[in-house]
């Protein structure tokens, strides 16, 4: 009997198989590239872009808005309409997120304190362009940054085609850097040619992109260090094996390192899904990649909904899809996932392609502490304090002076007490 495409595994085994998002090999490769671009700017950027085939020798590295607009104008009307529709849904969701934040002002002894919300000034948005160019990632990152109020946005992507350039135009990017990999991340972080040193660098990429983001993370903000993409489907006997298999394969075809997982309340469902996987792979153009990725994942059979919830929370997957009869009841009980898809109708691919929520998500269990890329990634909370009445502020001033002396910082205490004179 041939080996199963999706092997039975324990939750502990699946968790133990996760590697770090950034391994030593990727760091060793990325570090000299990042340093070269930091030190030599555009000349080093061009050397690596040409070496890795991002651009031909002497080819344009920096693409201005006029070229982006021409690419947009050259699209078929239907293609342009779809790009604009997806961008509008992403923008609408981001605007709703932004409205959830606002300024704060409270009374303190002798005055007021509060915060303002302020956007970052410059953002670098990375979009993969290797095995599968992802104009959707251009929209997810750049539209969200612009909605947050970021003034200057550059997109970096290797060998951008017309659809990617058009997506950058729709998103309102100020330019495109036609380069990928660690050298592109370094250029966004440190600046190169017309690309400014950005305040934040975001977007998905391969292990070298992720390593470079870690290396520049002390200089600029980053969204997250994301590893291989993941999907866990929590299903019961009511789930369609055809649909479950299709959803697992949609995730598996991303990358040979992708991790598709089925958590099943019904032991017989796993065999039916296995048969569907084989049938669908036979006619899937991306079958070689998807088949390899299935080997990274597995099937976990659970005996109760509670056990399934615990399994999903332990996995803390990037994407969690609920193909359950009582999905609405289970959803609020789940604590850890990057994005949740409630019910069989809410396919993960609908999230990938612009239902509204962002598809740049934490992986490798980091959903326990991280959330999706959002307008919040591009915003800062700026606090302020104003004291108008020193006499009324005496309790605050005296407490500050006391704390200064408790901590051995006499100048702090004297600075506070000056306000009593």
Task: Examine the domain organization and report whether 155 and 29 are in the same domain.
Answer: yes
Dihedral class, residue 288 (left if φ above 0, else alpha if ψ from -120 to 50, else beta) = alpha
- Residue of 319, 342, 203 whose CA lies nearest to 250: 319
- Does the pLDDT of residue 354 top 90, yes or no? no
How many C-beta atoms surround the C-beta of residue 216 within 10 A? 24
Residue 375 is assigned to a structural domain of this protein: no
pLDDT digit string, tens, across residues 389-398: 999 999 999 9
Residues whose CB is less than 8 angstroms from the CB of residue 103 and which lie 6 or more positions away in sequence, other chains included: 114, 115, 116, 117
Burial state string for 190-214 with b = 16 or more CB within 10 A and e = fewer than 16: bbbeebbebbbbbbbbbbbbbbbbb
What is residue 330's predicted lDDT score, i.e. its pLDDT? Answer: 98
Task: Examine the domain organization and report whether 48 and 154 are in the same domain.
Answer: yes
Residue holding tokens 């991303």? 254
Q: What amino acid positions are annotated as catalytic residues? A: 318-319
Residue 244 is assigned to a structural domain of this protein: yes
- The 3 state secondary structure assigned to 55-99 is CCCCCCCEECHHHHHHHHHCCCHHHHHHHHHHHHHHHHHHHHHHH
How many folded domains does the chain comprise? 3
Residue 379 is assigned to a structural domain of this protein: no
Residue 129 is assigned to a structural domain of this protein: yes
Q: Among residues 222, 238, 254, which one ends one of the domains?
A: 222
What is residue 1's predicted lDDT score, i.e. its pLDDT? Answer: 47
Task: Examine the domain organization and report whether 214 and 339 are in the same domain.
Answer: no
Task: Examine the domain organization and report whether 167 and 50 are in the same domain.
Answer: yes
Residue 378 is assigned to a structural domain of this protein: no
The count of residues in the chain is: 421
DSSP annotation of 142 reads I
What is residue 239's predicted lDDT score, i.e. its pLDDT? Answer: 98
297: CATH:
3.40.50.1980
Grouping H, G, I as helix, E, B as strand and the rest as coil, residue 363 is coil
Average of per-residue pLDDT across 167-183: 98
Task: Examine the domain organization and report whether 408 and 317 are in the same domain.
Answer: no
Task: Examine the domain organization and report whether 188 and 79 are in the same domain.
Answer: yes
What is residue 188's predicted lDDT score, i.e. its pLDDT? Answer: 98
| % the chain with pLDDT above 90 | 96
- Does the pLDDT of residue 21 top 90, yes or no? no
pLDDT digit string, tens, across residues 232-270: 999 999 999 999 999 999 999 999 999 999 999 999 999
Residue 380 is assigned to a structural domain of this protein: no
- Does the pLDDT of residue 125 top 60, yes or no? yes
Higher per-residue pLDDT: 132 or 418: 418
User: Predicted confidence band at 131 (pLDDT cuts at 50, 70, 90)?
Assistant: confident
Cβ 294 vs Cβ 248: under 8 Å: yes
- Residue of 420, 32, 351, 41 whose CA lies nearest to 196: 41
Task: Examine the domain organization and report whether 206 and 344 are in the same domain.
Answer: no
Structural domain harbouring 337: 11-20+228-357
pLDDT digit string, tens, across residues 281-324: 999 999 999 999 999 999 999 999 999 999 999 999 999 999 99
Residue 300 is assigned to a structural domain of this protein: yes
Task: Examine the domain organization and report whether 262 and 211 are in the same domain.
Answer: no
Task: Examine the domain organization and report whether 180 and 31 are in the same domain.
Answer: yes
**Phi, psi of 142, rounded to the nearest 5 degrees:** -75, -40
The two structure tokens encoding residue 213: 């983001």
Residue 73 is assigned to a structural domain of this protein: yes
Number of helical H runs and strand E runs in the chain:
18, 14
Average of per-residue pLDDT across 140-160: 98
Cβ 262 vs Cβ 245: under 8 Å: no
d(CA 45, CA 22): 22
- Does the pLDDT of residue 173 top 70, yes or no? yes
Helix-strand-coil split of the chain, %, nearest 5: 45, 15, 35
Half-sphere exposure of 318 (CA within 13 A, CB side): 28
Q: Among residues 202, 222, 242, which one ends one of the domains?
A: 222
Q: Among residues 340, 357, 374, which one ends one of the domains?
A: 357
Task: Examine the domain organization and report whether 145 and 233 are in the same domain.
Answer: no
Task: Examine the domain organization and report whether 56 and 157 are in the same domain.
Answer: yes
Residues whose CB is less than 8 angstroms from the CB of residue 196 and which lie 6 or more positions away in sequence, other chains included: 122, 152, 154
* Cα first-last separation, the chain: 89
pLDDT digit string, tens, across residues 99-110: 999 999 999 999
Task: Examine the domain organization and report whether 118 and 246 are in the same domain.
Answer: no
């Amino acid at each position: 009997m041939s080996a199963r495409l999706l092997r039975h595994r324990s939750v502990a085994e699946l968790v133990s198989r996760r590697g770090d998002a950034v391994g030593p090999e990727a760091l060793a490769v990325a570090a000299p590239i990042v340093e070269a671009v930091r030190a030599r700017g555009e000349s080093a950027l061009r050397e690596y872009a040409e070496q890795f085939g991002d651009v031909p020798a002497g080819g344009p590295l920096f693409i201005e808005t006029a070229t982006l607009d021409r690419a947009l104008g050259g699209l078929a009307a239907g293609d342009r309409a779809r790009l604009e529709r997806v961008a509008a849904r992403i923008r609408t969701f981001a605007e709703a997120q932004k409205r959830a934040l606002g300024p704060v002002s409270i009374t303190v002894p002798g005055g007021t304190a509060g915060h303002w919300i302020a956007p970052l000034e410059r953002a670098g948005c990375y979009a993969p362009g290797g095995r599968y160019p992802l104009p959707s990632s251009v929209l997810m990152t750049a539209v969200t940054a612009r909605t947050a109020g970021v003034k200057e946005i550059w997109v970096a992507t290797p060998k951008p085609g017309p659809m990617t350039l058009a997506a950058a135009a729709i998103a309102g990017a100020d330019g495109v850097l036609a380069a990928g990999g660690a050298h592109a991340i370094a250029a966004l972080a440190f600046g190169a040619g017309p690309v400014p040193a950005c305040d934040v660098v975001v977007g998905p990429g391969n292990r070298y992109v992720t390593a470079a983001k870690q290396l520049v993370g002390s200089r600029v903000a980053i969204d997250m260090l994301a590893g291989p993409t993941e999907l866990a489907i929590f299903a019961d006997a009511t789930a369609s094996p055809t649909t479950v298999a299709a959803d697992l394969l949609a995730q598996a075809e991303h990358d040979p390192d992708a991790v598709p997982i089925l958590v099943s309340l019904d032991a017989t469902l796993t065999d039916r899904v296995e048969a569907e996987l084989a049938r669908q792979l036979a006619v899937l153009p991306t079958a070689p990649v998807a088949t390899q990725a299935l080997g990274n994942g597995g099937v976990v059979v659970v005996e109760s909904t509670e056990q399934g919830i615990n399994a999903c929370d332990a996995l803390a997957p990037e994407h969690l899809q609920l193909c359950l009869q009582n999905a609405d009841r289970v959803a609020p009980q789940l604590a850890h996932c990057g994005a949740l898809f409630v019910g069989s109708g809410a396919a993960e691919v609908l999230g990938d392609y612009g239902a509204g929520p962002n598809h740049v998500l934490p992986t490798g269990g980091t959903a326990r502490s991280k959330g999706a890329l959002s307008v919040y990634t591009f915003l800062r909370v700026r606090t302020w304090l104003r004291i108008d009445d020193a006499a009324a502020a005496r309790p605050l001033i005296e407490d500050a002076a006391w704390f200064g002396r408790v901590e051995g910082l006499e100048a702090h205490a004297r600075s506070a007490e000056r306000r009593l004179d």
